[in-house]
Amino acid sequence: MLLSVRDLRMYYKTKMGYVKAVDGISFDLDQGESLGIVGESGCGKTSISMTILRLLPDNAEFKGGSVLFDMGNGPVDLVNLPESEMRKYRWRGISMIFQAAMNSLNPVYKVGDQIIEAIQNHFPDMPLDKARQKVAELFTLVGLDPSRMDQYPHQYSGGMKQRAVIAMALACDPKIIIADEPTTALDVIVQDRILKEIRKIQRKLNMAMIYISHDIAVIAEVSDKIAVMYAGKFVELADAVTIFKQPMHPYTYGLMHAFPSTVGEKTELVTIPGEPPNLLNPPKGCRFAPRCPKADSVCSEVEPEYRELEKNHFVACHHPVQPKEVVRFYAE
């Protein structure tokens, strides 16, 4: 297994108490596999990637779990590595395409130079002309004209900046790439091109990918398997088709039916009542229980175990949705 995350916990310490952003996350990722993590804002999906890469702010507290990463010479627990060792795994092992990529480029440096800097940081022995050649190759790979290497970010359009950031993430031939909402600020036509580019490169280089988004339609396009996250926890994980066709967690079911589509029959959209809980004080028992139409007294007392109900189909629910079952949400 390339990456094996077990019971990962990371809380943010605030004046009011701990915000349980990542609260017992487990998943496996194989080479060439693409995992989509879908969840609403504030559910902790970005925090997972920051915890794996250990790029956490000062008020973050690691609370347990393991991140076993295998680059070919046996699994290493990234959690216990000293910072100097960790740097070897960042970018070369696992790299990241950040949210709002447009702002993650430095405006006063040429785009090509910024990528060269990343390469030379990790491969100090690489001569400059070789690094330049590498950047030119990366530009071609992501669909940018290599002559643009010597331009500044303001001379790029939004889509081009996004491509440059993808090129930067690929600079050190990572085994895993984490893409955090890389297309959220883009218009659909540009988004479409970037999504296809990411998927094409990921398949071509046989990389593993973790794609994080709030948009289930985007997740559907780029993922082999999908994890649905709610209030700091995975509530369901299965292959993409199963998640869409046979969701077992009521929250997943609600999401699928709340999402409008431009194709197919115009079906009635579901409204999930209430709001996601505050992670400072998540409800006891199942965190979705206060909004769940299937919840009973057990749900509000006992936290459901995250278990494999069917082969490769993980669900954390006391009353999973059965095939052909229609769940009715009452709102308004």
DSSP string, 110-171: -HHHHHHHHHHHH-TTS-HHHHHHHHHHHHHHHT--GGGGGS-GGGS-HHHHHHHHHHHHHT
Query: Which of 45, 47, 52, 50 shows the shortest CA–CA distance to 76?
Result: 52
When asked if residue 236 is in the footprint of other proteins (CB under 8 A), the reply is no
State the minimum distance, in angstroms, from the CB of residue 214 to other proteins. Answer: 7
> Residue 108 CB, nearest distance to other proteins (Å)?
24
Q: Which of 103, 133, 157, 312 binds other proteins (CB under 8 A)?
A: 157
Q: Judged by CB under 8 A, how many residues of this single chain contact other proteins?
A: 45
Please report, for residues 154, 225, 251, the alpha-carbon distance to residue 222 in angstroms, rounded to integers and kept in the order given: 29, 9, 21
Among 83, 125, 275, 305, binds other proteins (CB under 8 A): 275
CB atoms near residue 305 (< 10 Å): 9
Is 15 a residue that touches other proteins (CB under 8 A)?
Answer: no
Rounded to a whole number of angstroms, the minimum distance from the CB of residue 83 to other proteins is 35
Nearest by Cα to 44 from 19, 66, 65, 69? 19
Binding to other proteins by residue 57, rule CB under 8 A?
Answer: no
Q: How far is the CB of 221 from other proteins (least distance, A)?
A: 5
Which of the ranges 50-58, 82-90, 128-136, 213-221 carries the binding residues for other proteins, by CB under 8 A?
Answer: 213-221
Pinpoint the alpha helices (H) of 143-296.
158-170, 188-204, 216-222, 240-245, 250-258
Structure tokens at 241: 């088709």
Question: How far from chain centre, in Å, is Cα 187?
Answer: 20
- Pick 159 or 304: Cβ nearer other proteins: 159
Shortest Cβ distance from residue 72 to other proteins (Å)?
30
Q: Does 155 bind other proteins (CB under 8 A)?
A: no
CA angle 215, 207, 143 (to 5 degrees): 75
How many C-beta neighbours within 10 Å does residue 150 have?
12
Residues 1, 64, 127, 259: which binds other proteins (CB under 8 A)? 259
Binding of other proteins at residue 191 (CB under 8 A)?
yes
1 near other proteins, rule: CB under 8 A: no
| Residues 98 to 117 in contact with other proteins, rule: CB under 8 A | none
Which residue lies nearer to other proteins by CB, 67 or 220?
220
Nearest CB to other proteins, comparing residues 174 and 182: 182
Q: Which residues is 197 bridged to in the sheet?
A: none
- Kind of pairing between the strands at 60-70 and 233-239: unpaired
CB of 269 to other proteins, least distance (A): 4
Q: Does 270 bind other proteins (CB under 8 A)?
A: yes
State how far the Cα of 5 lies from the Cα of 231, in Å rounded to an integer: 18
- Please give the residue ranges that form the binding site for other proteins (CB under 8 A): 40-41, 157, 159, 187-192, 195, 214-218, 220-221, 223, 240-241, 244-245, 251, 254-256, 258-264, 266, 269-273, 275-276, 291, 331-332
